[in-house]
A and B are shown apart, each in its own frame.
Chain A
């Protein structure tokens, strides 16, 4: 193997590829801490001197969309992923444990939903939400998120259920637990790694979503964080520093959430493995 003869080749190649790949992220990161004039002049160089002006400007400007849209995004994302986790865990459990033809048909219909582009259904969805009185509301956006992403949750949970022995549920039933108690006290805690991955994926997708909030919640009512970034593009047209600061602040919460849960996810996996 060439790697064993020249031990430094692989790390070097890896580093070079990684560095080239990282350039756009580096640009986004360093320009947060540069004066706006310097961003336009030399985008690539390190901030000289580094400044927090851009961040404070975005955080304190009374006209900034940052705080209201942050609040909206936190509410929409957290409610959506909690409801999605609960509903899709229950539905996934039900479909994994019932193998009659109609249950399989429901499964197939749900799996089809994994590939449906939102553009195909958004026009009628606005009609459905209007008739429910939920168009341009947070509840409407959350309801659509739940409907649109439930197939993904069911897919993950029902797949994971196959690894959980049925006997556990039977034992709980013999001990007198109802199905409701069996699910929440015995099965759901065992689904933790699946729950973590559903929360990570859906959290990231819903936080970063642009199209659905733009059509369903905006443009009249309000913005989530990403539609806020989009709408601020004009405002920050000449202020690159402010733009990068806003994008940094909009990305930070979901990045932290991802890093926190990623650990939890690994813990869940290894914990299950040692017990197994």
Chain B
């Protein structure tokens, strides 16, 4: 209530020529809040509801009459080898992409946590991949990891007769793909950890040093606990971006090599929905994807924030 009174202009009621309508709150809502809310509702909230609706039908492009099939799509999903394999692929991708850039990010941030032109320049280097499109990143890495690319040329020069097919070997391709995503996300983690390190009071580390703690011990007991908010941000951002990885898969491997060795859930949903045109079934996959990402984010956020509060 206090809010609307603070905005009320003195003299509004006594001035008949005022453009202020009878419901000032409503007018304020319509001009400031309604446009954004409306677009968001129509293009995000409504589509989520529609996805749930579609997922209960057998809708498909070439099927003339769509009908309600209840939970049939969901039953089929958990017997569908393509979908189950995409869950496995996404789990591996997510684990690697959440852990590796976090670990490397802290390490690089600790090294770069100094003033000076060299460190400033290096920060820019680490952040550059974040500004470059995943499509471009993917093409660059496709060339770097090609069978006759620079890495394998180097390995051959070192005497390795048969260097690995980084992107063509079904056993390795998923890990190569994960590494590329890690490389791209590393800069973001470094920047967030650097910001976190600037918030660590120098006195604390000095006090610990006087008490006889070595560099490693100082890091674990003083610095790392104070980086908890940075860890939360990085983990949640990495989790969400790992879950929607599509561009890299599409450009680098198109789901292969072999059948579905790198096909993530995000890739399979779009494949079913826009290539196979099985809208109802793809929507069921999308709903499962949404539920999993929501549950994972909430649980991760809870766990990591509890850690922050205890400090």
Q: Across the interface, do A230 and B293 meet the contact criterion of CB distance under 8 Å?
A: no
Evaluate contact between B289 and A117: CB separation under 8 angstroms.
yes
Interchain residue pairs with CB less than 8 A apart (5): A21-B126, A119-B265, A124-B54, A226-B136, A251-B132
With beta carbons under 8 angstroms apart, the residue of A99, A151, A208 that contacts B132 is: A208
Residue interface bits B1-36, CB-to-A below 8 A is 1, else 0: 001001111100000000110000000110111011
Binding stretch for chain B, among A49-57, A60-68, A165-173, A190-198 = A165-173
Nearest chain B CB to A163 CB, angstrom units: 17
Other 12 A-B pairs with CB < 8 A, given A1-B215, A113-B44, A208-B132: A11-B118, A21-B126, A21-B186, A25-B140, A95-B33, A99-B3, A115-B294, A117-B244, A124-B283, A125-B47, A204-B131, A240-B143
A34 within 8 Å of B by Cβ?
A: no
Q: Is B62 an interface residue (CB 8 A)?
A: no
Q: In the complex the two chains form, is B140's CB within 8 Å of A28's CB?
A: yes
Chain B residue contacts of A250, Cβ below 8 A: 133, 136
A164-187 CB contacts (< 8 Å) to partner B: 166, 169-170, 173-174, 176, 178-180, 183
Q: CB < 8 Å: which of A90, A114, A117 contacts B243?
A: A117
With an 8 A cutoff between CB atoms, is A138 at the interface? no
Residue A147 at the chain B interface, CB threshold 8 Å? yes
Do residues A247 and B293 form an inter-chain contact, with CB atoms below 8 A? Answer: no
- What's the nearest-Cβ distance from chain A to residue B292, in Å? 10
Contact with A along B282-300 (1 / 0, CB 8 A): 1100110110011001000
**Interface SS, B side:** helix
Q: Are B114 and A10 in contact (CB under 8 A)?
A: yes
Within 8 A of A (CB), among B248-306: 250-251, 265-266, 269-270, 273-274, 279, 282-283, 286-287, 289-290, 293-294, 297
**B125 lies within 8 A of chain A by Cβ:** yes
User: How many residues of B sit at the interface, in one of the four size bands?
Assistant: 35 or more
B309 in the interface (beta carbon within 8 A)? no
Given known A1-B215, A240-B143, contact A251–B183 (CB-CB < 8 A): no
Known A2-B215, A113-B44, A150-B39; contact A254-B131, beta-carbon cutoff 8 A: yes
CB distance from B83 to the nearest CB of A (A): 13
In this assembly, does A87 line the interface, its C-beta being within 8 Å of a C-beta of chain B? yes
- Does A116 contact B28, Cβ atoms closer than 8 Å? no
Task: Say yes or no: B108 contacts A122, CB within 8 Å.
Answer: no
- Distance between Cα atoms of A148 and B44 in the complex (Å): 6
Q: Determine the chain A residues whose CB is within 8 A of the CB of B286 once the complex forms.
A: 119-121, 123
Flag A36-50 by CB within 8 Å of B: 1 or 0 each.
Answer: 000010111000000
User: Which one of B36, B108, B118, B136 has the highest number of Cβ atoms from chain A below 10 Å of its Cβ?
Assistant: B36
Q: Report the minimum CB–CB distance from A208 to chain B (whole Å).
A: 4
- In the complex, the answer to whether A119 meets B244 with C-beta atoms within 8 Å is yes
Chain A residues near B198 (CB-CB < 8 A): none
**CA A117 to CA B286, docked complex, whole Å:** 9
Q: Is the CB of B247 within 8 A of A94?
A: no
Known contacts A24-B140, A43-B143, A179-B7, A121 near B122 by CB under 8 Å: no
Measured between C-beta atoms, what is the minimum distance from A91 to chain B in Å? 4
| Set A21, A27, A118, A150: member contacting B183, Cβ < 8 A | A21
User: Do residues A128 and B47 form an inter-chain contact, with CB atoms below 8 A?
Assistant: yes
Given A11-B118, A43-B143, A240-B143, A121 contacting B136 (CB threshold 8 A): no
Closest to A45 in B: B150
B192-217 to A contact mask, C-beta < 8 Å, 1/0 = 00000000000000000000000100
In the assembled complex, which residues on chain B have CB atoms less than 8 Å from the CB atom of A174?
A: 9-10
The residue from B20, B36, B51, B131 contacting A121, defined by CB atoms under 8 A apart: B51
> Is A27 within 8 A of B143, CB to CB?
yes
CA distance in complex: A120, B32 (Å): 28
Tell me, in angstroms, the Cα distance from A155 to B35 when the chains sit together.
16
Decide: A116 and B44 in contact? CB cutoff 8 A: yes
Known: A87-B35, A120-B290, A179-B28. A229 touches B136 (CB 8 A): yes
* Nearest opposing residue in chain B for A228, CB measure: B135
Q: Which of A115-161 contact B (CB under 8 A)?
A: 115-125, 127-128, 143-144, 146-148, 150-151, 154
Chain A: CB-nearest residue to B118: A11
- With a 10 A CB-CB cut-off, give which of A25, A99, A170 has the most chain B CB atoms: A25
CB-nearest residue of chain B relative to A243?
A: B139
User: For A243, what are the chain B residues with a Cβ–Cβ distance below 8 Å?
Assistant: 139
Chain A residues, Cβ within 8 Å of B175:
none
Contacts A123-B273, A125-B43 given: A44-B37 contact, CB under 8 Å?
no
Which residues of A have CB within 8 Å of B45? 109, 113
Which residues 233-276 of A have a CB within 8 angstroms of B?
233, 240, 243, 247, 250-251, 254-255, 258
Q: A115-B293, A233-B139, A250-B136 are in contact. Are A121 and B44 (CB under 8 A)?
A: yes
Give Cα distance in the complex from A256 to B194, angstroms. Answer: 24
> Hey, which chain B residues are within 8 Å of A42, CB to CB?
153
A6 contacts the other chain (CB 8 A): no
Q: Indicate if A189 sits at the interface (CB-CB under 8 A).
A: no
Complex Cα distance, B137 from A25, in Å, reads: 9
Interface residue A108 (Cβ < 8 Å from any Cβ of B):
no
Q: Which residues of chain A are near B3, meaning CB under 8 Å?
A: 97-100
Q: Tell me whether B36 and A91 are in contact (CB under 8 A).
A: yes
Per the bound structure, the CA–CA distance linking A121 and B269 in Å amounts to 10
- B54 near A154 with CB under 8 A, answer no
